[in-house]
Structure 1
Amino acid sequence: MPKIVDHDHKRKLIAETAWKIIETEGIEKASIRRIASEAGMSAGALRHYFSNQDELLLFIMDYFLARGKERSKNKSWSQDPFIAVQETLLELVPVDRDKQAEAGVWLVFVIRSLTSAALNTKKDELIEGEYILMKALLEILIKAGYVKKDIDIELEKLRLSAVIEGLSIHALLRPDIFTIEKTEQIITHHLKELCNQ
């Protein structure tokens, strides 16, 4: 009788193995050969699931996104709209070990997207999703009366996204300076400036 293979289980095993390598040694060590070896399979077997590094990177990105959504779903958010927006923005900045590893993968993903059509399409989709989130957060602040209704919401969503992306890069590069407390202080300062316009 032929052996039944649980492909979803194998993909999850591959993603978790890749994550473990990335978290402990960095993304540059997460080659197809290394991941296959750590997952107890041949590189050829792994290529059955991912024919190239870009496909693997796309899968890892989706895996990280699912982890982030799960983290977000399990978090208890403030009932105060201003604080809830602040908490949401802070959740996007890599101020802990898990999120630092995810942000490192994101940076590699973005750089590789410059020369990969498949990754570029996914990058654009993810960034557009971020813009949608920023606009939704601004709409929450407007509806709650924290921010004036006549702000240029299209401009402000881009500005808010740029602040969070900038904080993310600095938190990744200089975690000694961009601690959770400092990052929260910067986010709060930006939101208060926005509310006082």
Structure 2
Amino acid sequence: MAIDPEARRDEVVDAVFRVVRRAGFEQASLRNVAEEAGLAIGSVRHYFDGHTDLMVFAMRASLDRVSARLTERVGPLLATQDEDERAEGVELMLSELLPLDERRRDEATVWLAFATAARTRPELRPLARESYDGMRTLVRRIMDGIARRGERAAPLDSHGPVCPYALD
């Protein structure tokens, strides 16, 4: 039976996330991740060139998962003219960024580990920057939309970091 490379990469990334949640970013070595995934280290190396490649791939996967959920929320939000539905949609969208349940707490734990690692690992910085820029853009668009409808003023410092862990 052929192994689906995409599914195998996803399994390995999930193992990275479990190791990071349980033991921290520094413990997510190829050996520990392979063990967590129930694979030989050679199998992990088959899909990733090394630790750096694996960590960048895992960080990208984390971003993509959150982005996909946010994208799912945009359609209904744009489709409605009802202000109550719109407000609820905005709240649901922003709640995807908060650790409000086990899945989102786990994601926040992993994301903070990656963001912290990005401060000393240049290969992770572009993805951390992309995440911060994306959050800033999302909040700015929501606030601009509120201001356009005249519901309340939306002054934000668009030059300041949204997150205290920003790399600036």
- Looking at structure 1, the residues matched to 3 and 60 of structure 2 have their Cα atoms a distance apart, in angstroms, of 22
Cα offset, 1:158, TM superposition = 5.8
Cα offset, 1:22, TM superposition = 4.3
Match of 1:9 among 1, 7, 10: 7
Q: Quick one: which amino acid aligns to residue 117 of structure 1?
A: P
The answer to whether structure 1 residue 94 and structure 2 residue 99 are counterparts is yes
Matched residue of 2:152: which SS? coil
**1:36 alignment counterpart:** 34
What's the TM-score, normalizing by structure 1? 0.64
Match of 2:24 among 27, 37, 60: 27
**1:114 alignment counterpart:** 119
- Give me the CA root mean square deviation: 3.1
What's the TM-score, normalizing by structure 2? 0.73
- Looking at structure 2, the residues matched to 121 and 69 of structure 1 have their Cα atoms a distance apart, in angstroms, of 16
**1:62 alignment counterpart:** 60
- Looking at structure 1, the residues matched to 23 and 68 of structure 2 have their Cα atoms a distance apart, in angstroms, of 23
**1:142 alignment counterpart:** 147
Choose 1 or 2 for highest CA Rg.
1
Summarize deviations over 1:85-139 as a string: whole Å, max 9, x none.
3332222111211111111111111121122221111111221111111111112
Cα offset, 1:14, TM superposition = 0.9
Cα offset, 1:53, TM superposition = 3.1
- Looking at structure 2, the residues matched to 115 and 60 of structure 1 have their Cα atoms a distance apart, in angstroms, of 17
Alpha-carbon contact 2:11-2:37 (below 8 Å) kept: yes
Alpha-carbon contact 2:98-2:104 (below 8 Å) kept: yes
Cα offset, 1:74, TM superposition = 6.7
Q: Quick one: which amino acid aligns to residue 7 of structure 2?
A: H
Q: Runs of 5+ in structure 2 lacking a partner?
A: none
Instruction: Report sequence identity in percent.
Output: 25
- Looking at structure 2, the residues matched to 5 and 30 of structure 1 have their Cα atoms a distance apart, in angstroms, of 24
| Greater mean alpha carbon deviation, residues 43-52 or residues 130-139 | 43-52
Alpha-carbon contact 2:34-2:44 (below 8 Å) kept: yes
Matched residue of 2:137: which SS? helix
Q: Quick one: which amino acid aligns to residue 49 of structure 2?
A: S
The answer to whether structure 1 residue 50 and structure 2 residue 41 are counterparts is no
Alpha-carbon contact 2:73-2:92 (below 8 Å) kept: no
- Looking at structure 2, the residues matched to 106 and 158 of structure 1 have their Cα atoms a distance apart, in angstroms, of 23
Matched residue of 2:120: which SS? coil
**1:195 alignment counterpart:** none
